Structure 1
Amino acid sequence: MKVAVVDIGSNAIRSTFYGIDQIHGDEILMKKLSYLRLPIRLGEDVFKDGKISLSKVSKVLSMAHAFKHLCMIHEVTDYRLVATSAMREAENGQELIDLVKSQIEVEIELISGDEEAEMIFESIFLCDQVDSKGSYMTIDVGGGSTEITFLNKGERCEAKSFRLGSVRCKNDVNQKEWKKFQVWVNQNALKYKPQKAIGTGGNINKMHRLCGYRSKPLPLKEFQEKVAYLKQFTYQELIEEEKLKTDRADVIIPASKIYLEAMIQAGVESIIVPKVGLAEGVARKLFRTHLEKQDLF
């Protein structure tokens, strides 16, 4: 059995194909068969002009067309295309969804910040650094929004989505939203007392690697020091000297500021980076649904 997921984010579009490696009891261990990241930055248009430009509409149509053919080649059982912040906010977002459905016969689903956090939660406890009996704060920073969730003893206690993201905050930060974010995190941290943060998203994955960590939690102090170091470089220098991708170099620092602020407000000293995200959660849910239908789960 194979499934495929397209994560249509504000900073990039990612297509991932999965198979099942093993099934242990009620837990599915997946294997990644193929991954393609397309630097189609929808948030660049939407957060500036309120709508997706014609050139990017064309690119999304091409992506959907190619994805449909890849699904045939991989012989997938099921797939989902999920869109987050930028597509939700775009004036012509629904028009684009309708266009993709009529021309390519592929359906894009708009999901809320809460649904996004729930899907990510699906994969969090597979990381051997996360104790199902512990207390944590998860931070998922996307291009257009940030989802914060407080977990306690394996349960989601509080979750909230904020209009703060790497692309949205690249040039300017909405101070009113920033204050709401600070206050909410601080209040809930006092209530749930998280031991560590759990970070998901492409920027924290990259920062984790840049700091020289493979699986261990990243200490707050080292995270802060690496951000301070990177801030010395121009955009071009980050690409040439630090070998960052062109669509990563201009957003990694704005994204890092959000992770760091959440950690500071929550009083946590390190962040676990399990290298899972929205796509893994969506894929796991697809597998679970089909296995339950076959009475194999």
Structure 2
Amino acid sequence: MLKIEKYGAVDIGSNAIRLLVMSVIEQEGKDTLFKKTSLVRVPIRLGAEVFLDGKISENSANRMVDAMTAFKLLMKTHNITRFRACATSAMREASNGRQVAEAIEKKSGLSINIIDGNDEAAIIASTDLKNLIQDDKVFLYVDVGGGSTELTVFANGKNVASKSFKLGTVRLLEDRVDESIWGEMELWIKKELKDYKHVSMIGSGGNINSIFKKSGKKLGKPLSYLYLSSYYELMKSLSYEERITELDMNPDRADVVIPATRIYLSAMKWSKAKNVYVPKIGLSDGIVKSLYNEKIAAELEVNS
């Protein structure tokens, strides 16, 4: 007997807003299945203005209201039973972030949780990585967003360290990253991995997913450092327009993909990882997993 519910998760990032609809399939005596039903992405680049002006513009706020209203209707048609929206770097740094969140809730009926970097890292780390995280291996998990990069070290099948850095693609494009941040991230990676050998990397985020898709690799197979660095040099040799026409990139991906790849390559270099695995997971997947874990915990409490 299967019990199937649909969950909704909204990730309000610095580069885009995403709605993930996930089918949660419970089967007696077996592991629960999480199957992606729909993913809608709206490229509202909040970080471009927040990292420059410190606030969300009226135009962007109105676009967010429209997007969240549309998401609400989509979730209604999908019969969503559980939902959560989380906002990251751009909204938490905007001087009017909370006011915009309140306005969105008033007009769309959907509340937004503005989370800090540590919460973001923890939610991402809660994603289902059991097919990759093996007890006898060490992984550096790198999630690159528009405003920040979340790092997590997995060793012996467990999360042993995590940290968020204000190093993101939109922030880099707008020249809003102090050079010292790169140094801080390098020191953290080397410190947390100094006792481990043979580290592999796990990369998540829209940019690494895009590169992986274009590589033609089968899901579960990693990208090598050599491949990623070669592709990085190819992208840098092309203009923004050429990346759209010759590499078939979306206009809102063709600029941020270069700083994103620089971050992944830097993390690989500092961790001495020769390969990066690219599962299709991110913050929205973590939100769904968190909602499910909360549901299970509540049921256990009721039955205890």
Normalised to the residue count of structure 2, the TM-score between the two structures is: 0.92
* Residue 102 of structure 1, CA deviation: 2.1
* Residue 291 of structure 1, CA deviation: 4.1
Cα deviations by residue, 1:184-213 (Å, 9 ceiling, x for unpaired): 112222134452011111111111122332
Hey, what's the Cα distance between the residues in 2 that align with 1:55 and 1:192? Answer: 48
Partner of 1:251: 256
| Contact 1:125/1:132, CA 8 A, preserved across alignment | no
Pick one of 162, 171, 176 that aligns with 2:165.
162
TM-aligned CA distance change 1:25 to 1:263, over 3 Å? farther
Cα deviations by residue, 1:19-69 (Å, 9 ceiling, x for unpaired): 124547574211112211001111111111111111100011111211222
| Contact 1:136/1:197, CA 8 A, preserved across alignment | yes
Partner of 1:265: 270
Which one is further off, 221-230 or 177-186? 177-186
Pick one of 210, 223, 241 that aligns with 1:206.
210
Identity %: 37
Partner of 2:15: 11
| Contact 2:7/2:24, CA 8 A, preserved across alignment | no
Partner of 1:54: 58
Trace 1:1-297 onto structure 2 (pairs within 5 A).
1-23=5-27, 27-126=31-130, 128-172=131-175, 173-193=177-197, 195-215=199-219, 216-294=221-299
Q: Which amino acid aligns with 2:148?
A: S
Q: Which amino acid aligns with 1:97?
A: A
TM-aligned CA distance change 1:194 to 1:162, over 3 Å? farther
Q: Which amino acid aligns with 2:272?
A: G
> How many residues in Structure 1 have an aligned counterpart in Structure 2?
296
Q: Which amino acid aligns with 1:227?
A: Y
* Residue 101 of structure 1, CA deviation: 1.9
Q: Which amino acid aligns with 2:36?
A: K
Hey, what's the Cα distance between the residues in 2 that align with 1:193 and 1:45? Answer: 41
Cα deviations by residue, 1:137-187 (Å, 9 ceiling, x for unpaired): 110100000011111112211111111001111243420111111111122
| Contact 1:150/1:192, CA 8 A, preserved across alignment | no
Q: Which amino acid aligns with 1:205?
A: N
| Contact 1:211/1:226, CA 8 A, preserved across alignment | no
TM-aligned CA distance change 1:234 to 1:98, over 3 Å? same
Structure 2: gaps of 5 or more residues: none
Q: Which amino acid aligns with 1:288?
A: N
Normalised to the residue count of structure 1, the TM-score between the two structures is: 0.94
Hey, what's the Cα distance between the residues in 1 that align with 2:174 and 2:114? Answer: 26
Hey, what's the Cα distance between the residues in 1 that align with 2:29 and 2:270? Answer: 38
* Residue 236 of structure 1, CA deviation: 0.5
Hey, what's the Cα distance between the residues in 1 that align with 2:119 and 2:267? Answer: 20
Structure 1: gaps of 5 or more residues: none
